[in-house]
Amino acid sequence: MGAVTACLACRSLKSKCLRANVDETCRRCSRLGVACESIPRRLGRKLGSKNVPKDGDGKDKRSRSHDDRSSSEASSYRPRKERRLSHWQREESPAEDGSPAPESPKSDDRPPSPFSNMLNILSRVANDMPRDSKPLGAGESPSLPFDRERFLDLYRQASGTLDPDPFMGMAVLEQGLDQLFGGQEQDTDIEQGEEGIYARIDQPRRDLEPHLDPVTNGLITEREARDLLSVYWSRCHPITRILDPEIHTMDYMRATSCGLFTSVLQVAAQCLPVSQHSAGIVAKLDNHIDTLYQIMSRKGMQSLELCQSMLIHNAYIRANKQHQTWPNVSMSIGMALETRLEINTLPAYMLDDPIYAHISPERKRRNIQRFWLVLTDSDRKTSFIRGRRPLLRDNVIPSMLNLEKWYQEADALPCDVVSCSSYAFQNSVATLQRNIQRTMVSQSAFTFEMHMKRVDDTLNEWRKTWYNRLSRDDQMRAEHDLRATRFALLMTPYEHRLNTGEMKEIEHDECLVAGLDLCKDAIPFLGGAVQNITPGRLYLIGYVSLCTLRIMDATSKNEGGHTPDISVFHLSILSALSSRLREIKAHPNIAVIGSVLGRRLLCACRKVAASTLGVAMDMPTPIPEDALNLLGQDMPGPGATDLSGIVRGDVPESLGGIGSLGPLDLAFSFDFTHLGDINPFLENDFNDFSSIPFVPLPPAY
């Protein structure tokens, strides 16, 4: 069947016209009851002057209509550059023949078009006013008087064709005329609180309201604030590494950001000796900083100092706010990009704002570069703990720096070397993770020896470059993070294969030794300075300890597993770690996390001990020498406290009394619901120890 021309109704909707020929009515028009009209198809070339029939004078109809339309347009054409005269000027000016000009509502002779907008009419009136005109006073009159009633009568006769909306009709026209020619001049200044709407997006919007300052509103005294600042610079600054003591004085922070000032005081208060007074200060500052961040989000405040505030707050954020660590990092990234901190030159506001006048350009530049180093490091550490991809994959400013020379420049801080080394370490770990994922996908046979060699070579390369450049305290913290990261990388291919029997004995032993070695060294590490105990390190310790327990549980189920004596020795290390976690002497913001981890870890140790040993031991034999050599640790003496109970044959207190296990001890279950989104591997309840999940490491980039 040939093509059939569609009817006008179907063609207007671009729908298919269903009919056999042109003479019939299509199904759609028949169903809707509308007329089914058609225009015959025009085949062949386009119609030209030779194909159009001529009229009587020998001129084709289409060219005639075109000439008529051109002549009408030419008659109504007016040059654009001709100055428009107002309606009263046209009324006074005589015509060429000496007769008065005809009255016209506007410069155009045509009446207002239907549904015209009254605001457009008002804009024409405003354009017709003299350029040097000013708002008239009560007793003034224009040089050319404006007849308000005549003007309204001209448009009132066409009010039936105007916009039917009452807010856009004659009432708006009258109100607009009152505004244009009224005697009262209204204030058009920007209202308070509207500065953020009119400000440029790359300009800072500061949180400097009086009630946001903790000293001004009476939360703490000025003397307490200065004491807390001294605590921050001595104990917290080596960990956060984001502020410059030469720039961030007390007066500077109070003049630039109340959020930064409050975050510094809140972090420093957590490092005070535990007392009722210090706990009260921490609680007041916690509530105040929550209120401040809510106001900041609602009003769209942004600045470099607010970005620094959120990163400092994340370092020691309390337990029930752990779900805010990732949003704080992402918000800091968004603020930094909106305020144009990613460019390699100083933003314009830092050159013009008098707040930064006392700071040298070099220190301003290093302050921004230091911020990007810490922000990238925080982003990758947070993603590693939470098992997600980093938000900042490529950062322009840190990638342009020569890290081995940047921390040695004239205005460098002692902590800058830690920032550079940590950034380089996170880059090495991210690259290694991508290579591990590619190897696991591309190779059919994955060997643990090759995998462990690649991990050790990468970490040793970083150690040779940066480890000796750190101070003694920084080396201790770097060593702990290095071992924890090594264990997590070694477990990447095997964390979901522990219960499947795919791990060989050498793989079990290497991972078990790495986990127990870290847990053993974490006991004195957690007993040191309070600033070492951050939520990130606590969760990483919890991950390593739980992985170690799963390895021990899987080893006991396989043939040729460790003897009960060695298992008790291993469990005693983990139980001692759980006791240290429960006894952390810090403020509730940090202590509650360690307490929960310690109690759950001890409960897990008891279950593994019960399932491994079967029944209670009346008199456990001494620990074999090879078990102690496995960890590179000497046999404890008679007066030792950690393992002396096992050596003397008593039931160890660190295990909570293996011989007195009850049903509650065996009903092992994690319950972290009161802490919110702490970590993926601590979110659910588990009835079986073999089903404990792990923190998923970031997938391939």
Token pair belonging to 230 = 């001294």
Q: What confidence score (pLDDT) does residue 1 get?
A: 53
Cβ neighbours of 576 (radius 10 Å): 23
Report how far apart, in Å, the C-alpha atoms of 533 and of each of 226, 270, 489, 590, 679 are.
24, 11, 22, 8, 17
313, 267 contact by CB (below 8 A): yes
Q: Among 144-148, 316-320, 547-551, 681-685, which stretch is predicted with the lowest mean pLDDT?
A: 681-685
Q: What confidence score (pLDDT) does residue 146 get?
A: 74
Q: What confidence score (pLDDT) does residue 309 get?
A: 96
What is the four-CA torsion angle of 277, 280, 284, 286, rounded to 10 degrees? Answer: 110
Q: What confidence score (pLDDT) does residue 291 get?
A: 93
Highest mean pLDDT among 89-98, 109-118, 298-307: 298-307
Does 604 score more than 60 pLDDT?
yes
Does 489 score more than 60 pLDDT?
yes
Q: How many Å apart are CA 458 and CA 454, to the nearest integer? A: 6
Q: What confidence score (pLDDT) does residue 131 get?
A: 55
Q: What is the pLDDT of residues 607-629, one digit of tens each?
A: 877 776 664 444 444 444 544 44
Does 425 score more than 80 pLDDT?
yes
Does 689 score more than 60 pLDDT?
no
319, 675 contact by CB (below 8 A): yes
Highest mean pLDDT among 155-164, 204-213, 445-454, 633-642: 204-213
Of 270, 553, 241, 266, nearest to 414 (Cα)? 241
Longest dimension (CA), the chain: 131
Cβ neighbours of 560 (radius 10 Å): 6
Highest mean pLDDT among 349-358, 411-420, 671-680: 411-420
Q: How many Å apart are CA 608 and CA 668, to the nearest integer? A: 10
Point out which residues pair with 302 in neighbouring strands. Answer: 205
Average pLDDT of the chain is 72
Torsional class of 676: left (φ above 0), alpha (ψ -120 to 50), beta (otherwise)? left
Q: What confidence score (pLDDT) does residue 431 get?
A: 84
* pTM, to two decimals: 0.61
335, 311 contact by CB (below 8 A): no
Token pair belonging to 122 = 């008002």
Of 306, 319, 412, 267, nearest to 672 (Cα)? 319
Burial 683-695 (b: 16+ CB within 10 A, else e): eeeeeebeebbbb
Q: What confidence score (pLDDT) does residue 506 get?
A: 82
Does 71 score more than 70 pLDDT?
no
Q: What confidence score (pLDDT) does residue 126 get?
A: 63
Which residue is it, tokens 């800058």?
416
